[in-house]
């Protein structure tokens, strides 16, 4: 997939950041070292430093554009280009930390359930993450439906349902001897402003693989599939998420888990 757009992702910074605050509120032990997996443009890595000013914080992301943006806008931070799967195996070049945290990243990693215990092992005290739980919401159902129509289907192929697990499933995977796990879910109802706000929201995240494929086809063949897709998908989203006098309500489910070692990995 082509690289991410930091500008598009940051369009709804406040709404996208709320779950991170809820996640951090459940981290009970003050860390001295933190790794932020999938740090994106660094706006939340900076939040980690503000919350624990005495901690050494490193942001890790596989997107060159995101790391470049993070380094430019947060020059006081430390940002490393790398894959969290390598970090799970101790090959990212980033040391283990008291706290390993990840926000809205693991849903992009195939087989992330099997990866979780290894990621937790990289945390000396706490492993905490949140993932979207909205892959059966109208926004994503309609994405798959519109993308399956001709002429889009021949370009993008089948659109994967990037399923995440329920809290109980994450509890079952992470609850091992020596660990306690807190798992829960929250549904936020964001009020979005402007024209086609749900289209803009999804276009910056879940729809990225589809849109990148259409853009590449348009560049190569001189077609206008991206504009046609935006029109059809946008119309479907406006029907599913009607605008009110106060804005467009957009329900967004998030799933969280915080796994804490009963004894620090260093034996303290």
| Per-residue model confidence as pLDDT tens digits over 50-90 | 999 999 999 999 999 999 999 999 998 999 999 999 999 99
pLDDT at 2: 46
For residue 111, the number of C-alpha atoms closer than 13 Å in the C-beta half-sphere is 5
User: What's the whole-number average pLDDT of the chain?
Assistant: 92
pTM of the model: 0.88
The answer to whether residue 9 scores a pLDDT higher than 80 is no
pLDDT at 216: 94
CA angle 15, 66, 234 (to 5 degrees): 50
State which H helix or E strand residue 89 sits in. Answer: none
pLDDT at 264: 83
Share of the chain above pLDDT 70, in %: 94
Q: How confident is the model at residue 4 (pLDDT cuts 50, 70, 90)?
A: very low
Residue 129: name the closest of 61, 78, 183 by CA.
Answer: 183
* Each residue's pLDDT tens digit, 15-63: 778 899 999 999 999 999 999 999 998 989 989 999 999 999 999 999 9
Ordered DSSP codes for 90-127:
T-SS---EEEEEEES-GGGSTTHHHHHHHHHHTEEEEE
pLDDT at 232: 97
Q: How confident is the model at residue 13 (pLDDT cuts 50, 70, 90)?
A: low
Compute CA 163 distance to the chain's CA centroid, rounded to the nearest angstrom: 13
* Each residue's pLDDT tens digit, 231-264: 999 999 999 999 999 999 999 999 999 999 998 8
Burial of 254 (0-12, 13-18, 19+ CB in 10 A): buried
* Each residue's pLDDT tens digit, 168-184: 999 999 999 999 999 99
* 189, β-bridge pairs: 251
Sign of the dihedral defined by the CA atoms of residues 136, 140, 146, 151, in that order:
negative
Sketch out the chain's domains with CATH numbers. 6-261 (3.40.50.150)
CB within 8 A of 176, min separation 6: which ones?
A: 117
Burial of 240 (0-12, 13-18, 19+ CB in 10 A): middle
């Amino acid at each position: 997939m082509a690289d991410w757009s930091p500008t598009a992702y940051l369009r709804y910074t406040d709404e996208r950041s709320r779950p991170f605050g809820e996640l951090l509120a459940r981290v009970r032990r003050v860390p001295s070292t933190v790794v932020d997996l999938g740090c994106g443009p660094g706006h939340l890595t900076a939040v980690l430093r503000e919350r624990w000013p005495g901690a050494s914080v490193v942001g890790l992301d596989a997107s060159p554009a995101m790391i470049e943006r993070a380094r430019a806008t947060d020059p006081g931070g430390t940002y490393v280009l790398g894959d969290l799967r390598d970090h799970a195996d101790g090959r990212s070049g980033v040391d283990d930390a008291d706290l390993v945290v990840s926000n809205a990243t693991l849903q992009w990693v195939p087989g992330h359930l099997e990866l979780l215990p290894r990621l937790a092992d990289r945390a000396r005290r706490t492993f905490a993450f949140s993932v979207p739980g909205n892959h059966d919401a109208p926004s994503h159902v309609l994405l798959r439906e519109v993308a399956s129509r001709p002429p889009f289907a021949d370009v993008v192929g089948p659109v994967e349902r990037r399923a995440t697990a329920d809290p109980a499933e994450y509890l079952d995977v992470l609850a091992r001897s020596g660990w306690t796990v807190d798992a829960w879910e929250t549904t936020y109802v964001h009020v979005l402003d402007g024209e086609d706000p749900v289209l803009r929201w999804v276009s910056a995240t879940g729809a990225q693989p589809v849109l990148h494929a259409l853009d590449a086809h348009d560049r190569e063949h001189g077609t206008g599939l991206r504009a046609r897709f935006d029109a059809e998908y946008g119309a479907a989203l406006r029907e599913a998420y009607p605008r009110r006098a106060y804005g467009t309500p957009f329900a967004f489910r998030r799933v969280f888990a915080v796994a804490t070692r009963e004894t620090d990995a260093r034996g303290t």
